[in-house]
């Protein structure tokens, strides 16, 4: 796949280099629904690097029924990918944390501690797209009492919050940061998600941008996003914490 970094409007970014770090991706080989093997992992790393990123933090799913990952699976996969990146001569830093599903299986994981974290002791968490977990606020509170900072992945995709927009502000007030998926702004997940993403940005509720990259199709759509002048102009009106990681 070729990456075109052409932007018609010179004042808009020609790459995602202004973010430097992608903190949400599924590029580790063979441990979740992202890259299936090292070869696919390298394809994704090359694509993200060509799009301007110089640091990638892999966040494989930890979802007990489907992807029962832990440090025992994540860290060997990280070392495997790092080795492949070195052998390929790619000048990109690879790190890993995890994306934790806040379902019933999260309880024992949270209680055990030793979570795989992003910089700043942040824990990337997600929830189901249909309904919030009954213990959402309890989980967020307990994460903080254990010294973690909760970071909610793709808040724009939880459409049960679309008509309860005040809940976003409440989650922020109790200490939860938000990470927006870039492809949401390009309509990849549908118009309702795009509309919510735009609204979250306009209310200055987004802390981080992430790719949530799983496969080459995501790379193609990220490239197309760079030519979406409306979306890129909206991003230019905000600042994000990616560069602080």
The SS3 of residue 159 is helix
Q: Assess if CATH 3.30.70.20 describes domain 21-244.
A: no
Those residues whose C-beta lies under 8 Å from the C-beta of residue 111, and which sit 6 or more positions away, are: none
Residue 77 confidence (pLDDT): 98
Write down the residue that tokens 């890259």 correspond to: 35
Give CA separation, 121 vs 74, 124, 125, in Å. Answer: 17, 10, 13
* Sequence-ordered alpha helix ranges (H) in 7-163: 38-50, 71-87, 106-112, 136-145
Residue 4 confidence (pLDDT): 47
- Neighbour tally for 57: CB within 10 Å: 22
Q: Which two three-digit tokens encode residue 164?
A: 């309860």
DSSP string, 160-185: GGTT-THHHHHHHHTT-EEEEEGGGG
> How buried is residue 119: exposed, middle or buried, by Cβ count under 10 Å (0-12/13-18/19+)?
middle
Residue 11 confidence (pLDDT): 79
Strand partners, 179: 153, 208
The SS3 of residue 207 is coil
Report the alpha-carbon distance of residue 106 to residue 103 in Å, rounded. 5
Q: Which two three-digit tokens encode residue 193?
A: 């998600």
Distance between alpha carbon 157 and the CA centroid of its chain, in Å?
Answer: 12
**Angle value at C-alpha 100, between 20 and 242, nearest 5 degrees:** 15
User: What is the distance in angstroms between the CA of the first residue and the CA of the last residue of the chain?
Assistant: 29
pLDDT, one tens digit for every residue, the chain (245 residues) = 444 444 445 578 899 999 999 999 999 999 999 999 999 999 999 999 999 999 999 999 999 889 999 999 999 999 999 999 999 999 999 999 999 999 989 999 999 999 999 999 999 999 999 999 999 999 999 999 999 999 999 999 999 998 899 999 999 999 999 999 999 999 999 999 999 999 999 999 999 999 999 999 999 999 999 999 999 999 999 999 999 99
- Neighbour tally for 46: CB within 10 Å: 17
């Amino acid at each position: 796949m070729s990456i075109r970094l052409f932007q018609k409007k010179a004042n808009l970014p020609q790459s995602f280099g202004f973010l430097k770090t992608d903190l949400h991706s599924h590029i580790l080989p063979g441990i979740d629904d992202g890259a299936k093997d090292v070869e696919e992992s390298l394809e994704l790393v090359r694509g993200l690097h060509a799009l301007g990123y110089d640091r990638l933090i892999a966040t494989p799913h930890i979802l007990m029924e489907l992807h029962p990952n832990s440090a025992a699976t994540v860290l060997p996969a990280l070392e495997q990918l790092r080795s492949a990146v070195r052998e390929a001569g790619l000048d990109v830093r690879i790190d890993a944390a995890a994306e934790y599903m806040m379902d019933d299986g999260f309880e024992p994981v949270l209680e055990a501690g030793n979570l795989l974290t992003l910089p700043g002791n942040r824990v990337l968490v997600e929830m189901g797209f249909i309904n919030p977990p009954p213990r959402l606020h309890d989980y967020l509170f307990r994460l903080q009492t254990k010294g973690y900072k909760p970071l909610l992945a793709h808040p724009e995709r939880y459409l049960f919050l679309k008509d309860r927009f005040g809940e976003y502000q409440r989650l922020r007030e109790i200490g939860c940061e938000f990470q927006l998926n870039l492809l949401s702004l390009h309509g990849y997940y549908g118009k309702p998600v795009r509309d919510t993403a735009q609204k979250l940005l306009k209310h200055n509720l987004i802390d981080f941008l992430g790719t949530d990259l799983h496969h080459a199709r995501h790379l193609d759509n990220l490239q197309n996003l760079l030519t979406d002048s409306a979306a890129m102009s909206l991003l230019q009106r905000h600042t994000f914490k990616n560069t602080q990681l």
